[in-house]
Structure 1
Amino acid sequence: MPQAADGSHTSDLVVLGGGSGGYAAAFRAAELGLSVTLIEKDKLGGTCLHRGCIPTKALLHAAEIADSARDGAKFGVRSTLESIDMPGVHSYKDKVVGGLYKGVQGLFKQHKINVVAAAGRLVSPTAVEADGVTYEGRHILLATGSVPRTLPGLQLDGERIITSDDALILDRVPESVVILGGGVIGVEFASLWRSFGAEVTIVEALPRLLPTEDASSSKLLERAFRRRGITAHTGVRFAGVTRTENGVVVSLEDGTAIDAELLLVAVGRGPVSEGLGYEQAGVTLDRGFVVVDDYYQSSVPTISAVGDLIPTLQLAHAGFGEGILVAERLAGVAVSPIDYAGVPRITYSEPEVASVGYTEEQAAQKYGADGIESFVLNLAGIGKAQILGTSGATKVIRKKDGPVIGIHIVGTRAGELLAEGQLIYNWEAYPEDVAPLIHPHPTLSEAIGEAHLALAGKPLHVHP
């Protein structure tokens, strides 16, 4: 990397932040022949690898193993669940994270990216300063991510009132927990803690859990959670919390008081932008998010932003796509804006909730209630679902006499089915295009095939 007489360093691209969006941009830019410097004060891989996607899914897999051990008798296997060994669970989780972390580090070396392990700050439209050194770039990419939010006046203490970051390293299974927030993070922790044996209560101010998902998916999840013994207070606001000798008492605005060992605050994540010099460099912010156009360019032409720092889907794979798009744009490759409706969304609870495209409500608003058709396939009619002992449904929504515009799945391993759903939506396939495709039997993927057969007017294992 060239060094100027004043001690500054110059690259084609300087990336501030080494999470999903930042490192995807760095890798792709390097592949396209650009020189890249990436500045990261923490571990490469960011929230997803170290405090989000990977460790939470490792915990959820351990929870699945616990459920299998506990419920073995349903399948003729006599098994008992003696206990949850949290040090052992964390050892397994950390081994998974550690292996992937080594892989990411190796990719940085392979791409010959200059990695600066330090806190960085934007000091001009073309420069970031870290540890007293200035790193100049023809272009700057901001990818500083997000942190857990809290509510005004709600003080976190990391002991009784905690965030998802704290929950990931908790050294025990709480006897009881109240989860404030019924979105993805809250639902996933509710699921895993219940599998580990905790008493779980969710509080969600909006009328249903997973409020951004299709209403039918939320209803199926809530029904499944009730069967599992998870209590949900929806449509009611949090009023306050008091610490007690043994835990907390959570108060709701309807007068309900809930005693628990812990309160997990899972009300979303906010962007990390304060104090990093963004506004001083001319970057426009909105509620802390960097305002960008469809190609992730900020109000300053030499500065782009991706990932949780911009108000798009807070998903690692969305960040990958955004970072790649920026790198290709800078290298002169033709790019197209991302259709966020076509980005898969998965909640890894038990049951899982997976979707791509529009919800039925969104589709009706866009095309009119008479301009869409939908079909719901109950998983009870799918042989593999019976074998696995899962329940749920697949909903497919199409434009009237047109392509598929939404697929929603609830059930065990629903997320694994969504890859096909993503292709169907993004390739604007008609149900009549999908219906002739023969899905393997017995598999859960038949739920996709059967639903499209029905919408195409030739149902197979569907009662009229």
Structure 2
Amino acid sequence: MTQGFDYDLVIIGAGVGGHGAALHAVSCGLKTAIVEAADMGGTCVNRGCIPSKALLAASGRVRELRNAHHLKSLGIQVAGVEFDRQAIADHANNLVTKLRGDLTNSLKRLDVEIIQGRGKIAGSQKVTISTGSGEKTVTAKDIIIASGSIPWVPPGIEIDGKTVFTSDDGVRLESLPSWIAIIGSGYIGLEFSDVYTALGAEVTMIEALDQLMPGFDRDIATIAERVLIKPRDIETKVGILAKTVKPGSPVVIELADAKTKEVVEVLEVDACLVATGRIPDTKDLGLDSIGVDTNRGFIPVDDRMAVLSGGEPVPNLWAIGDATGKMQLAHAASAQGVVAVENICGRHRLIDYHSIPAAAFTHPEISFVGKTEVAAREMGKEEGFEVAVAKSYFKGNSKAIAEGEADGMAKVIYRKDTGVVLGVHIIGMHAADLIHEAANAIAQRNSVQTLAYFVHAHPTLSEVLDEAYKRAVGSH
């Protein structure tokens, strides 16, 4: 057990990653403590996945009930749909409170010691915790850093938390501006544009790169633009930089050409959401005391989740989640936590990023796992194989047609020689649920030849993937 240490394992950070690591550590018989400076549950539970999905669920229903044309096609008529902004905000806040309590209670039930305070490395196998009443140092055979991330605010942008804010404040939905600028067209920007337009706001989306949704597969981004942006009250400005943003009434935004940096327009809006990504929360963690250099704040790790110093693992020190910069996803952090604990227990296990799915919970949803077509073709060039693509469409799916939700596509990217699946991208109803079949197929390194003969229930949305697999092997 503890062999002269206070704990077998101390985890710095009680987000989804730290929580997942703690649960697995207890199941492996490790005496575990978790250190948290702020709210239990970290970004995901308090300021990210959970409250944003609550807002998307409520606003999505408003959009659906106001879509008279869609409802009429199903033989339904609804008049005068109204909503209460505060009640929607309360729905999100109440969910946060409940899940934060559930997470805390699950740790207490398993005798994980929860220490409130800011933890930092104080040397090999030592953690110093700053609490309201002073400082204390504990020892542990192993330490996992799960300190998470914070929103990145580019230079020139002033945040006041009311008229100019990040997603941290946005999820509270304290106001509903008539006209809001959203800086960034990634997952966060897309999801918030979905919420705001459903509730009647006008959106101007500002993207510094030369195309909208730069991280997405191009075919998916094209459909997303047609379905999620063009029919809605969203104006887009691409290749444009928000050079300065000043809070107030109105919010004043200087827009510049992203390449020349010359100001091309001044925008005055009611509010501005800054959705420009997240950076690691790794300042003042004491990593320098043990010779670990971060890379732009990210902690270097190997695929066992061991922290690296000069390319070599640091004994008994591990890092997981957003702080590592590998995949900024709650479930990736959780998976990394399990992998770290397995290696702490002497069972060799590696993380397989290739099979970890991601999703945007827009209406309709977007999901993907593995490589984009561009990345797969680049890999093919390097390794000497050809890449093939098969697509199928929701408009040919009986369940999607019955729901009146037939916009969407599934795209399967695979090796021409072996048929092994390299990536799957879906836009359409329940895409975030559908992607897991593909993620498991990639985890098993399945080929389209194998997948094409699996049986899917009819009529279900899963047949969209079934159809794509069958098209890949030419049986449809």
Report whether the alignment pairs 1:13 with 2:9.
Answer: yes
Q: Alpha-carbon deviations, 1:226-251, whole Å to 9, x = none?
A: 12232222222222234453333442
Question: Match for 1:388 among 398, 403, 417?
Answer: 403
Corresponding residue number in structure 2 for 1:188: 191
Corresponding residue number in structure 1 for 2:260: none
Residue 293 and residue 74 in structure 1: after superposition, are their counterparts in 2 closer, same or farther (change >3 A)? same
CA offset at residue 191 of structure 1?
Answer: 1.0
Corresponding residue number in structure 2 for 1:334: 348
Give, as a single letter, the amino acid of the residue that structure 1 aligns with 2:438: G
Residue 452 and residue 249 in structure 1: after superposition, are their counterparts in 2 closer, same or farther (change >3 A)? same
User: 2:89 touches 2:173 (CA, 8 Å); kept in 1?
Assistant: no
Residue 407 and residue 143 in structure 1: after superposition, are their counterparts in 2 closer, same or farther (change >3 A)? same
Residue 90 and residue 286 in structure 1: after superposition, are their counterparts in 2 closer, same or farther (change >3 A)? same
Corresponding residue number in structure 1 for 2:371: 358
User: 2:158 touches 2:247 (CA, 8 Å); kept in 1?
Assistant: no
Report whether the alignment pairs 1:397 with 2:417.
Answer: no
Structure 1 residue runs of 4+, over 6 Å off? 1-4
Q: Alpha-carbon deviations, 1:424-453, whole Å to 9, x = none?
A: 222122222122222222221110011111
Corresponding residue number in structure 2 for 1:462: none
CA offset at residue 341 of structure 1?
Answer: 1.9
CA offset at residue 362 of structure 1?
Answer: 0.8
Question: Match for 1:64 among 57, 60, 65?
Answer: 60
Report whether the alignment pairs 1:38 with 2:34.
Answer: yes
> Whole-Å Cα distance in 1 between the matches of residues 469 and 452 of structure 2?
5
Report whether the alignment pairs 1:269 with 2:282.
Answer: no
Corresponding residue number in structure 2 for 1:252: 256
CA offset at residue 280 of structure 1?
Answer: 2.4
> Whole-Å Cα distance in 2 between the matches of residues 3 and 156 of structure 1?
48
Question: Match for 2:238 among 234, 238, 244?
Answer: 234
CA offset at residue 358 of structure 1?
Answer: 1.1
> Whole-Å Cα distance in 2 between the matches of residues 266 and 96 of structure 1?
23
Give, as a single letter, the amino acid of the residue that structure 1 aligns with 2:452: A
> Whole-Å Cα distance in 2 between the matches of residues 198 and 307 of structure 1?
34
When structure 1 is superposed on structure 2, of 96-105 and 240-249 the one drifting more is: 240-249
User: 2:157 touches 2:243 (CA, 8 Å); kept in 1?
Assistant: no
Corresponding residue number in structure 2 for 1:312: 326
User: 1:240 touches 1:252 (CA, 8 Å); kept in 2?
Assistant: no
User: 2:183 touches 2:189 (CA, 8 Å); kept in 1?
Assistant: yes
Aligned residue for 1:302, secondary structure, equals strand
User: 1:248 touches 1:263 (CA, 8 Å); kept in 2?
Assistant: no
Corresponding residue number in structure 2 for 1:216: 219
Q: TM-score when scaled to structure 2? A: 0.91
> Whole-Å Cα distance in 1 between the matches of residues 153 and 250 of structure 2?
22
CA offset at residue 349 of structure 1?
Answer: 1.2
Corresponding residue number in structure 2 for 1:55: 51
> Whole-Å Cα distance in 1 between the matches of residues 28 and 306 of structure 2?
19
When structure 1 is superposed on structure 2, of 202-211 and 24-33 the one drifting more is: 202-211
User: 1:188 touches 1:349 (CA, 8 Å); kept in 2?
Assistant: yes
Q: Alpha-carbon deviations, 1:344-388, whole Å to 9, x = none?
A: 011111221111111110111111397011012122111222223
Q: TM-score when scaled to structure 1? A: 0.93
Aligned residue for 1:44, secondary structure, equals coil
User: Structure 1 regions of 5+ residues with no counterpart?
Assistant: 460-464
CA offset at residue 74 of structure 1?
Answer: 4.1
Report whether the alignment pairs 1:198 with 2:201.
Answer: yes
User: 2:250 touches 2:268 (CA, 8 Å); kept in 1?
Assistant: no
Give, as a single letter, the amino acid of the residue that structure 1 aligns with 2:454: L
Give, as a single letter, the amino acid of the residue that structure 2 aligns with 1:411: G
User: 1:213 touches 1:359 (CA, 8 Å); kept in 2?
Assistant: yes
> Whole-Å Cα distance in 1 between the matches of residues 435 and 140 of structure 2?
39
When structure 1 is superposed on structure 2, of 155-164 and 222-231 the one drifting more is: 222-231
Residue 243 and residue 43 in structure 1: after superposition, are their counterparts in 2 closer, same or farther (change >3 A)? closer
Residue 134 and residue 456 in structure 1: after superposition, are their counterparts in 2 closer, same or farther (change >3 A)? same
Report whether the alignment pairs 1:28 with 2:17.
Answer: no
Aligned residue for 1:376, secondary structure, equals strand
CA offset at residue 83 of structure 1?
Answer: 3.1
Corresponding residue number in structure 2 for 1:414: 431
Q: Alpha-carbon deviations, 1:5-51, whole Å to 9, x = none?
A: xxxx7111111110111111111111111111111122221111111
> Whole-Å Cα distance in 2 between the matches of residues 400 and 46 of structure 1?
43
Give, as a single letter, the amino acid of the residue that structure 1 aligns with 2:245: V
Identity of aligned residues (%): 33
User: 1:248 touches 1:262 (CA, 8 Å); kept in 2?
Assistant: no
